[in-house]
Amino acid sequence: MTEMMKPEDIENVIGYKFRDPGLIRAALTHSSYGKEHPEEEDNERLEFVGDAVLDCAVGEELYRILKNQPEGVLTRTRALAVCERSLNTAGRSIGLGRAVRLGMGERQSGGSEKPSIIADAMEAVFGAVFLDGGYDCAKKVILEVLEETLELAVKGELFTDYKSEFQEKVQHKGAVTDIRYVVDSFQGPPHDRTFYVHIELDGETVGKGSGKSKKSAGQDAAKDALERLKEGKYVF
């Protein structure tokens, strides 16, 4: 059995000591654990805060690094750096999966290894640092944790963000104005759901996908749409 990490272990790894220990404790508490222990705050609200701070910090850094690059390049690069796959990779590098408190069912189903859970917890940790120490502290932690990710993204050597690539192709054509990612359904219990998504261009379905989170399902659908476009199965 993998040994659990404690909140103070995460503090040591990210180089930040919380004045309010309750914040890092909440950041490392998955909703499945919160449901079994109602007295404990889960990390969903902190994830909301962290998502906004992450976008701001990475956007500011890319503005500084990618001088004279147009908005489209900045947007695409940031999307790569802050997507679920990047956050999962960063979270794994600091052992975050071993620190997240999970409900019994989620724990038994391997929740500590699920990309969506690790990525969400990573955002929650960023949000917790922001609320505890302010923007400068949060930005410092974010840029250190995502240092390698940002370097690869700037060099164009990170994995493909299919949603950004698809949107760029559509906007380049200039004919389509409405892009929607629609969740068709989901299956499975809360701790192990699979989402099914399709993409609509002005009401026409052009791609379908699935994944363990809405984000990953959207990426899969965008990948499908790009492949279908390449094969000439639809035009716009």
The residues that are catalytic are: 51, 123
Residue 95: left if φ>0, alpha if ψ -120 to 50, beta else—which one? left
The Cβ of residue 233 has, within 10 Å, a number of other Cβ atoms equal to 11
The phi and psi torsions of 109 (rounded to 5 degrees) equal -90, 10
The Cβ of residue 180 has, within 10 Å, a number of other Cβ atoms equal to 11
Crossing angle (nearest 10°) for helices 84-93 and 71-82: 50
The overall longest dimension of the chain from CA atoms, in Å, is: 57
Instruction: Provide the sign of the torsion angle of the four alpha carbons 106, 111, 115, 120, taken in this order.
Output: positive
CA-based Rg of the chain, rounded to a whole angstrom?
Answer: 19
Whole-number Å distance between alpha carbons of 226 and 8: 44
The beta strand positions in the chain, using DSSP E, are 179-187, 194-201, 204-211
Q: Tell me if 198 sits within 8 A of 221, measured CB to CB.
A: yes
Q: How far is CA 49 from the centre of its chain?
A: 13
SS3 164: helix
